[in-house]
Structure 1
Amino acid sequence: MKKADKTTTNEALQKRQKMFSEAEKLANIGIFEWDIRANQVSWSDGLYHIYGLKPDEFEASFEGFLERIHAPHRERVRQTIETAYREGKPFEMEELIVRPNGEKRVLFTRGEVIQDADSQPIRLIGVCQDVTERKKAERARLKSVKLKAEKSQLEKLLKELKETQTQLIQSEKMAALGKLTAGIVHEINTPVGALKSTMDTMSRCSARINQILENSSTLAEVKNNGDYQKSLKILKENCQVASSASERIIKVVTSLKNFTRLDEAEFEMADIHEGLDSALTLIQHEIKDRVLVEQNYGDIPEIRCYPAELNQVFMTLLRNAAQAIEKKGTITIKTSSDENNVYVKISDTGKGMPSEKIKSLFELGFTTKDTRVGMGMGLINAYNIIQNHKGELKVESEVGKGCTFTIILPMDLKKTIKTV
């Protein structure tokens, strides 16, 4: 062959090699080959690019490759390749690599073992593709699907809430919950509105991402698309808003469910703190920005009781404490226990009442509009509920300084005939 012909051939080969390398980078793929007999590993330029390495800085080897696999994935990757080598079968795997700058990338690898005439492995070849951006887009899509499912679940919970209210309308619980309806609707409508707005935004972002994926020919083009990055950022921000709104709705609905306990046995072991927290959540609209609540909870055991009835007592005392505070003030809840009893103290910094009126506090129709909020049947029912639990309801009060109700409940209560 003439010298000129050799030069032309070399130039053509170099041109094809350059085109091949550029195609690898555009497609985010790289090729490797392991000459098993010579124990030599070769990487294409595209694979060096994916790993963030340069040929003159890193000599490809099987052990060097393993060192760049994210540690928790390393053994699985080793076993996959060793199994393919041993059995002579093609393999596929997904691995997480760590670049020299600490950046993590997700790769999908497909490989094959080449055998000689005696079925002995002589070469292992394969191709890797960087699927990091595709994975991010898929996670964003799945997160959107999850939020839609959560929205559906919340709508179901709201429907159950309405059904629960219908069941309560014939009971004493409804008398207490009726006063809370406006507040609960407000507490739920606000996050539902936020959730609806975020879902609309996320739906548009998802549609934009799908459009970008359909119109892009390479993953590199997707990655460098400004609208794609912007849409991912908006999705992340709206996920946080939706999550916060969902948690608020679930907290309100869960508190109402705990308060009513319609799906549980009437007489059972119960957590007093759970009942107090549920009652506080349901009156939140009456006290927020006005009343500070201090919860000094002791280490108390669960007790056998009628939890739905005790929740009515907590609701009554907390609502009356809030109503006794004309402007701003504090409600303090303290719990403790000894060998025989559990104690719950609910104090307020409200109007208080004179000692002579405490004597008639639990009489039918008690009201003292000049010193304390009218209480009607609420305190009578609360007193009867505590009596039915073989406990005590005590009151201490001083005009202008507030009032303290102390509930004493026995730990060894046996099931009794309800009187309320």
Structure 2
Amino acid sequence: MENQFEYFDLSVPTPAASTPASAAQAANVSQEVAQHNRLKYLIDNTPAIIYSSVPTGDFKMTYVSSNAQRILGYDSAMMVSDPNFWFDHIHPDDVPQIFSSLAMLFSEGERTYEYRFKNSSGHYIWMHDMLRLIRDEAGNPIEVVGSLTDISERKAMEESLQKKGEEQKQLIHKLQEAQDQLMQSEKMASVGQLAAGIAHEINNPIGFVNSNMGSLQGYVEKLFEVLAQYEQLILQPQAAQSAVARVNAIKKEADLEFLQEDVEDLVRESMDGLKRVRDIVQSLKDFSHVGETDWQEADIHHGIDSTLNIVINEIKYKATVIKEYGTLPNVRCIISQINQVVMNLLVNASHAIKDKGTITINTGCKDDWIWIRISDTGSGIPPEIMTRIFEPFFTTKPVGSGTGLGLSLSYGIIKKHNGRIEVKSEMGVGTSFTIHLPLRPDKVDAG
């Protein structure tokens, strides 16, 4: 569809000579003058500068509305008289993007630009320029009309918002770093609280391994002594019967049958003790990874078992741990953080049990979610504080017994995984925390 454009002659109509003209003709002239004045008034007072230019070459301006004086400080006649006025006043950095796409005006018929334009005081202000190509009935370009609007205030607001956005990004980054440091501090605090128990747990197998090694050293010395006596008998040219009798006497004296049986038990028990130490140390190493932020497909059950190795000394004197594991696929998560959540819940469960009780760990999978439930037969959570248990630094423990960050950080970790934590508690019966985790956190709407 061809653009239609009605031309307005802004020159004041010349009144007819003093002739016997009809009253109707005089009225028409008066009406035209009124319309002309009205049109000129509207154009001069519009917020945008209205202009026209030739559609070729340097796009020399052929008309500029007089409100250019108010907006830019230039006389419109001066702008029209200078063929290079428009391009000479555009900021040099903005010229290339205009030149590179101006030819598209002839194919699209319209173009819109935002660029900086130098006003009469020498300052660059932001302008919104909307151009439209006018064609004649044959489709030939005859003129370009446009409007220039000062958008400096809008640009200043956008720049301010962008600056604030960058500041907020930096603040979020700093908060994230602070949270990571806080999380690591809480993790190390938890390890510190468990250190005595872990040391005790390691000392047990080390103690009996050390004892076994002492016994084994004595056995080996005795075995070498027996072998030496055997060698002496072999080298002596006595009768065979006397040698056999002497060998049997040596075996009986050294109790070789007992030594053989006990050595096997000592070695087996020692190997088991060393494995326990290795597992505890490896679990502690896995748990205390510093700055681990890698998302990976992880075995949740392995993570729970690893965490249990660390906290078992905190738990075993107060509760029996029952594991009721379902079948779980690997879950995409930061496994060290999930382990920290499990550890917090296990330690809290043991603290809730005053004498002797039970901690049950259930797991399961439904649809694209897995769940971990840690239940205790402890004293329960009073209803009046149930809504506060995830608040930072809120704790019911005595001063020096806890940071009050365990559940708060646990909530943040699960939220980061696009999961959720549910809690149910009954006074005198026990408490149950259930962690729900999506198999693919990136596929879940965080809202």
TM-score normalized by structure 1? 0.54
Shift of 1:180: 0.8
Q: Secondary structure at the match of 1:269?
A: strand
Correspondence for 1:198 among 212, 236, 239: 212
Q: Secondary structure at the match of 1:283?
A: helix
Output the CA distance in 1 between the equivalents of 2:386 and 2:280: 34
Output the CA distance in 2 between the equivalents of 1:253 and 1:386: 26
Q: Residue 290 in 1 paired to residue 304 in 2? A: no
Shift of 1:324: 0.4
Q: What is the percent sequence identity of the aligned residues?
A: 39
Which residue identity lines up with residue 212 of structure 1 in the other structure? V
* Counterpart residue number, 1:117: none
Shift of 1:229: 3.2
* Counterpart residue number, 2:283: 255
Larger Rg: 2
CA, structure 1 residues 263+362, in 2 after alignment: closer, same or farther (shift >3 Å)?
closer
Q: Secondary structure at the match of 2:380?
A: coil
Shift of 1:312: 0.6
Q: Secondary structure at the match of 1:368?
A: coil
1:40-70 deviation per Cα after TM superposition (whole angstroms, max 9, x unaligned): xxxxxxxxxxxxxxxxxxxxxxxxxxxxxxx
* Counterpart residue number, 1:77: none
1:128-152 deviation per Cα after TM superposition (whole angstroms, max 9, x unaligned): xxxxxxxxxxxxxxxxxxxxxxxxx
* Counterpart residue number, 1:177: 191
CA, structure 1 residues 170+394, in 2 after alignment: closer, same or farther (shift >3 Å)?
closer
CA, structure 1 residues 396+332, in 2 after alignment: closer, same or farther (shift >3 Å)?
same
1:236-258 deviation per Cα after TM superposition (whole angstroms, max 9, x unaligned): 23223313322321232232233
Output the CA distance in 2 between the equivalents of 1:300 and 1:327: 33
Output the CA distance in 1 between the equivalents of 2:336 and 2:302: 11
* Counterpart residue number, 1:84: none
Correspondence for 1:215 among 210, 226, 229: 229
* Counterpart residue number, 1:412: 440
Which residue identity lines up with residue 433 of structure 2 in the other structure? F
Q: Secondary structure at the match of 1:414?
A: helix
Output the CA distance in 2 between the equivalents of 1:230 and 1:344: 49
* Counterpart residue number, 1:301: 329
Output the CA distance in 2 between the equivalents of 1:264 and 1:170: 10
* Counterpart residue number, 1:147: none
CA, structure 1 residues 266+172, in 2 after alignment: closer, same or farther (shift >3 Å)?
farther
Shift of 1:311: 0.6
CA, structure 1 residues 394+263, in 2 after alignment: closer, same or farther (shift >3 Å)?
closer
Output the CA distance in 1 between the equivalents of 2:271 and 2:189: 33
Q: Secondary structure at the match of 1:335?
A: strand
Shift of 1:222: 5.2
Segments of 5+ residues of structure 2 without an aligned counterpart are 1-181, 235-242
Correspondence for 1:347 among 371, 375, 395: 375
Alignment length (residue pairs): 247
1:108-132 deviation per Cα after TM superposition (whole angstroms, max 9, x unaligned): xxxxxxxxxxxxxxxxxxxxxxxxx
The equivalences for 1:379-394 within 5 A come to 379-394=407-422
Correspondence for 2:393 among 365, 386, 390: 365
Residue pair 1:350, 1:401 contacting (<8 A) in 2 also = yes
Residue pair 1:343, 1:407 contacting (<8 A) in 2 also = yes
Which residue identity lines up with residue 314 of structure 2 in the other structure? E
Which residue identity lines up with residue 383 of structure 2 in the other structure? S
TM-score normalized by structure 2? 0.51
Output the CA distance in 1 between the equivalents of 2:190 and 2:376: 20
Q: Secondary structure at the match of 1:409?
A: strand
* Counterpart residue number, 1:378: 406
